[in-house]
């Protein structure tokens, strides 16, 4: 079961899409097992996904929220929409992808 809020599902789409793109591009090496046997294509794919997710998360984090005023206290409260995947905010997925890329560089089948 995939759990997301807002546009958090985009993280999964970008991650999966970058891995598929990396595998497709390594097929040009005329070795159908190159992607599975080498870690650097996965590293590049995860780091590309990290960059794209960082840009999108930064865009959503800098958007202004709604300013609401409490009736009782008169305090201003800024309400923003939450964008997360598996309860992890979108901006933190950048670091997850960076670490996964480093791990998959050394893990081969």
Q: Are strands 66-69 and 76-79 parallel, antiparallel or unpaired?
A: antiparallel
Confidence of residue 89 (pLDDT cuts 50, 70, 90): very high
Look over the chain and give the mean of its residue pLDDT values, rounded to a whole number: 91
CA–CA distance, 75 with 35 (Å, rounded to integer): 55
Instruction: State the CB neighbour count (10 A cutoff) for residue 105.
Output: 17
Q: What is the pTM of this model?
A: 0.84
Q: pLDDT at position 108, please?
A: 64
pLDDT of 109 over the 60 cut? no
> Structural domain boundaries of the chain?
4-106
- In terms of Cα–Cα distance, which of 105, 97, 100 is closest to 49? 97
Confidence of residue 96 (pLDDT cuts 50, 70, 90): very high
CA–CA distance, 85 with 74 (Å, rounded to integer): 34
Burial 26-38 (b: 16+ CB within 10 A, else e): beeeeeeeebeee
- How far are the Cα atoms of 10, 19, 38, 93 from residue 22, in angstroms, in the given order? 18, 5, 11, 19
Average pLDDT over residues 70-77: 88
Q: pLDDT at position 2, please?
A: 74
């Amino acid at each position: 079961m995939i759990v997301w809020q807002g546009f958090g599902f985009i993280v999964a789409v970008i991650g999966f899409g970058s891995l598929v793109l990396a595998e497709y591009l390594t097929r040009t090496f005329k070795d159908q097992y190159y992607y599975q046997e080498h870690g650097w294509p996965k590293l590049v794919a995860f780091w590309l996904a990290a960059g794209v997710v960082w840009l999108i998360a930064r865009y959503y984090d800098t958007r202004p929220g709604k300013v609401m005023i409490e009736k009782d206290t008169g305090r201003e409260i800024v309400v923003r929409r939450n964008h997360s995947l598996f309860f992890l905010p979108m901006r933190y997925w950048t670091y997850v992808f960076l670490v996964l890329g480093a791990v998959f560089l050394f893990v081969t089948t």
